[in-house]
Amino acid sequence: MRCTGVSWTIDQAWFPPHCISPHTSPAQSHAERLTWNAPRDHGRDARVVAWTCECTNPFYELCQAGGQRFIRRTRNAPDKRIVDESDRWNARQANAQWNALLLGLLH
């Protein structure tokens, strides 16, 4: 059984997705672009606060480390995973950025 992002397949039978995490909305025409940076500290000591479904590419995680929050973006390439991080904000600002990303107002 595997998730194809559209449906699940088991022995050629198709089922609707059973995703339990949210998906991001498509980017709106007026969406702002986030700045993506190389990961700091390779993700050590970061606590994941919220996340999107991994059946989409990319998928996102809202993380907290050192009293600040940031968004981690993971893209699946054929032979590797590429991880980027946003700038860091206080919790209130980060939650607003996260919600904007989910609504398609950021990309």
pLDDT tens by residue, 72-104: 999 999 999 999 999 999 999 999 999 999 999
In the DSSP assignment, the letter for residue 96 is: H
Cα distances (angstroms) measured from residue 53 to each of 12, 30, 48, 73, 92: 23, 24, 13, 12, 23
15 forms beta bridges with 8
Q: What is the pTM of this model?
A: 0.81
Cα(48)–Cα(60) distance, integer angstroms: 10
Instruction: Quote the tokens at residue 85.
Output: 């991080």
Pairing of the two strands 81-85 and 68-76: antiparallel
* Confidence band, pLDDT 50/70/90 cuts, at residue 50: very high
For the chain, the residue count is: 107
